Amino acid sequence: KKQAPCSKDTICLTQIVLFLSCQDCTICMEALAGPSGYKGPGVGGISRAESVGRLAQCGHQYHLQCLVAMYNNGNKDGSLQCPTCKTIYGVKTGNQPPGKMEYHVIPHSLPGHPDCKTIRIIYNIPPGIQGPEHPNPGKPFTARGFPRHCYLPDSEKGRKVLRLLLVAWDRRLIFSVGTSSTTGESDTVIWNEVHHKTEFGSNLTGHGYPDPGHLDNVLEELKAQGITEEECLPRD
């Protein structure tokens, strides 16, 4: 029996089915039209292995069960990153131990920034005992080289970086507890994934000035942690 052609104003079901069966879930590499390839506990009664989730902002689709598995296998930091386009959902937080962040302006210019003064940030974190969010809960951690002094040009962009670093500090993303790649020491406070300049007038370590790309690099690193100016503006 001959099938009637799809009319222009009703969507063609065959096309949708074909489309879905051609798409793979890039988490488990199985077809989105079929069940999740992840054989784990289901998602608390709200879905079956066939359920497909569509991320609200970027629109990328995965099995719901695969998204949940990905979250549970990660560091469960309250956020989820689209594995395709890296859009961050939720607010990412880290495991930085308690401490203090202070800053002030000093009346000197950094190499490469002759026209402005300098912001000095002082981080202080004392040693302590690791919490459940750290690699070895209950074990002590050391804290070397504190207070750590860092420098930014007191320019418009430098002040923007400072504002975002304050957000990063509140979200516990500036430091972490782990193994220092510089000293090899484990169970110690280490820089997380946002680079800081810890040298003022020289550049002996490579963590000094001049470095024309520094502020843009830091803005990218902050973005990778889900911190952007847009996101930090008050919403109505």
Residues that bind ligand APR (CB under 6 A): 144-145, 148, 180-183, 190-191, 195-196, 198, 205, 207
63 forms part of the interface with Zn ion (CB under 5 A): yes
Closest chain position to ligand APR (CB): 145
At its nearest, how many Å lie between Zn ion and the CB of residue 82? 14
27 forms part of the interface with Zn ion (CB under 5 A): yes
Which of 25, 150, 161, 219 contacts Zn ion by CB under 5 A? 25
Q: Quick check: bond before 147 cis, omega within 30? A: yes
Q: Cβ closer to ligand APR: 60 or 120?
A: 120
- Phi and psi (nearest 5°) for 178? 180, -150
Q: Which residues pair with 123 in a beta bridge?
A: 101, 148
Is 65 within 8 Å of 38 (Cβ atoms)? yes
Strand order of the β-sheet with 118-124 is 100-106, 118-124, 148-153
CA distance 69 to 67: 5
205 makes contact, choosing from ligand APR, Zn ion, none, with CB < 5 to 8 Å by partner type, with ligand APR
63 makes contact, choosing from Zn ion, ligand APR, none, with CB < 5 to 8 Å by partner type, with Zn ion
Residue 2: which residues within 8 A CB-CB, separation 6 or more? none
202 makes contact, choosing from ligand APR, Zn ion, none, with CB < 5 to 8 Å by partner type, with none
Q: Cβ closer to Zn ion: 28 or 43?
A: 28
CA distance 95 to 171: 9
Q: Cβ closer to Zn ion: 36 or 95?
A: 36
Q: Which residue ranges make up the site for Zn ion (CB under 5 A)?
A: 25, 27-28, 36, 63, 66
